[in-house]
Structure 1
Amino acid sequence: MRPRDRIWAAAFVALWSSGFIGAELATRYAPALTVLNWRFLLLAGPALAWLATRRRRWSARDVGVHVVVGLLGQAGYLYGVVAASGLGVDPGTSALIAALQPVVTAAAAFAVLGEPVRAGQLGGMAVGFAGVALVVSADFSGGGAPLWAYALPLGAMLSLVAATVFERRGGRTSLGPVDALAVQFLTTAVVFAGVSAPLGAFAPPASAGFWGAVAGVTVLAGIGGYGAYWTVVRRSGPTTAATLLYLTPGTTMLWAWAMFGTAPTLLTWVGLAVTLAGVVLSIRARPRREAEVPEPAPVR
């Protein structure tokens, strides 16, 4: 990876992982749907203001691409993960299901986009998945969720895979990265407001802790995490972006250690090392076509 791509990759892993900590803090004050609703309502105002100041005329097709990406990659993914947690699915189990994404993304990119996948790349993914399994097993506590609830994190993972491949297949649009995120944020805000209002989950609690947690997860994960994710997809390809997700369960545990004093076990550290080795092997084995994604042109 190019030096700047490494910086984006590291930023993506750290920021994406922070979302799980922010969700944990925020859901101490309100239901998950209320948290998601206000997370995106906070983003809707700045997003609308940004698009208004741009005064650009985009084609319906270009805007439509990012409406779909927002529905799949933000509304679909986040609701699946958070709803599963609310039904009692263990976070470790959700993380393990989400860790299937690199393999599914690679298969989808090969089938839909024609992007080649090398044996070394699949081997790296297998090593990475083994590392994730070690990390999760060190923190697994079981769960009392109904059987059907486990379909939610699976659906969330497939939703993000679909968004990643769809965005890639749509090609370059006339929207810059910030423009695209603004459209996605507005789309997701409409979805969660429309769902939470009739279910009585729209009104926020009068708690400074709630607003602090929601503001934190909105800036770090909402803007930073998703912005970095799509930047990595554009610069290094969808398979690389998905492979980096292997690092998020372990990184989340490091966040929890810093925030809540929950020290990782020896098995967790071993799993982190194995996961990192798998990610490095997979990225180094990338086919030339994906490894040499052109440097994106600056947005004007």
Structure 2
Amino acid sequence: MNVLLSLAFVLCWSSGFIGAKLGAGSASAITVLMWRFLPLAVVLVAVAVVARGAWRGLTARDLTRQAVVGLLSQSGYLLSVYHAIQLGVSSGTTALIDGVQPLVAGALAGPLLGQYVSGRQWVGLVLGLSGVTVVTLADAAAGAGVPWWAYAVPLLGMFSLVAATFLDSRSRPRVAPPVSLTVHCATSAVLFSALAVGAGAAAPPAEGGFWLAVVWLVVLSTFGGYGLYWLLLKRSGVTAVNTLMFLMAPVTAVWGALMFGEPFGVRTALGLAVCLLAVVIVGRGEGGRDRSAAAARGTREDGRRRRSDSPEHARR
């Protein structure tokens, strides 16, 4: 089941880059982002008013934490990616910078969450970064004339998503995915609407391509990619889910080749193969760690049973 969910997640998350390109020809990024979230937030809030069961027991602190997670994971991440591309940073270079995310998440998962990364998983993580580099290296060389500080913008977005991931993972009690999605989208809708109105870019164009891009982004990117991200995070853990990010740049290249006729050469195919191998290695490392943890738990339980059955314990 997790394999199918992971496959759907990779396809849906990578579709966001395609949706952004679909809308880029008819409106500014901030306009696309506003209309991506505003109608969706209205629908989700209306559903929440009717189905209030999932909201019971949540405090103002829980909702505030989710609002912060939404600002980091949606608003901060998307705004930085779109802004970097507007500044001239290519999508390939942005994908390369985002490709560092699994390494950052893996390094922090141990001290922050107690989810330590095994040696095999570290090999997979580094291999995955190599695959992303193979796919995007040629594209990164085309960034002449871009100000040096522009490359820090997608880096901030990467850290923003990582911070949101750890903040949500440390949340207690756990918030149901429909609730978190509603809060995140409502928060992003407020922020992007304020930015669009302030920039005089709130009015949507009448072109059909713009609304096609909005529907694409809502259905595939938000419900599919974003929703599955948090679902898999709860089922598989930080390291396993973030490793799937290695596949985004190569899979986006496949999307671009199929939909826009963009070149898909030997280097891209090689990078995709390397990234797939990295995901397999990390996945096996995760399974081995789970088996070791289960064996350790079993050993401790056997020890407790032997102690409880011993004559000394019976006399006590």
Question: TM-score normalized by structure 2?
Answer: 0.87
Aligned counterpart, 1:167: 168
Equivalent residues of 2:19, 2:216 under 8 A apart: yes
| Count of residues paired in the alignment | 288
Distance apart, 1:193 and its partner CA: 0.8
Aligned partners of 2:46 and 2:292: how far apart in 1? 35
Unmatched 5+ stretches in structure 2: 295-316
Aligned partners of 1:101 and 1:181: how far apart in 2? 22
More helix by share: 2
Aligned partners of 1:239 and 1:123: how far apart in 2? 13
SS in 2 for 1:211: helix
Distance apart, 1:138 and its partner CA: 4.7
Aligned partners of 1:283 and 1:42: how far apart in 2? 37
Aligned partners of 1:241 and 1:145: how far apart in 2? 32
Residue by residue over 1:112-167, the C-alpha shift from the partner in whole angstroms, topping out at 9 and shown as x without a partner, is: 11221111111100111111111112544522321111111000000000011111
Compared with structure 1, are the counterparts of its residues 112 and 258 closer, same or farther at alpha carbon in structure 2 (3 Å cutoff)?
same
Compared with structure 1, are the counterparts of its residues 39 and 103 closer, same or farther at alpha carbon in structure 2 (3 Å cutoff)?
same
SS in 1 for 2:198: coil
SS in 2 for 1:197: helix
Aligned counterpart, 1:39: 36
Aligned partners of 1:90 and 1:256: how far apart in 2? 14
1:148 equivalenced with 2:149 (yes/no):
yes
Aligned counterpart, 2:2: 5
Q: What is the aligned-residue RMSD (CA, Å)? A: 1.7
Compared with structure 1, are the counterparts of its residues 120 and 45 closer, same or farther at alpha carbon in structure 2 (3 Å cutoff)?
same
Equivalent residues of 1:29, 1:207 under 8 A apart: yes
Aligned partners of 2:247 and 2:147: how far apart in 1? 28
Aligned counterpart, 1:280: 280
Aligned counterpart, 1:298: none
Equivalent residues of 1:236, 1:290 under 8 A apart: no
Aligned counterpart, 2:177: 177
Q: Partner letter of residue 100 of structure 1?
A: V
Equivalent residues of 1:89, 1:145 under 8 A apart: yes
Find the structure with the greater CA-based Rg: 2
Q: Partner letter of residue 259 of structure 1?
A: M
Distance apart, 1:291 and its partner CA: 9.2
Q: Partner letter of residue 47 of structure 2?
A: W
Q: Partner letter of residue 8 of structure 2?
A: A
Aligned mate of 2:23, from 23, 26, 35 = 26
Equivalent residues of 2:83, 2:153 under 8 A apart: yes
Aligned partners of 1:33 and 1:291: how far apart in 2? 46
SS in 1 for 2:248: helix
Unmatched 5+ stretches in structure 1: 293-300
Aligned partners of 2:201 and 2:31: how far apart in 1? 5
Distance apart, 1:289 and its partner CA: 8.5
Aligned counterpart, 2:74: 74
Q: Give the % identical residues.
A: 45
Distance apart, 1:247 and its partner CA: 0.3
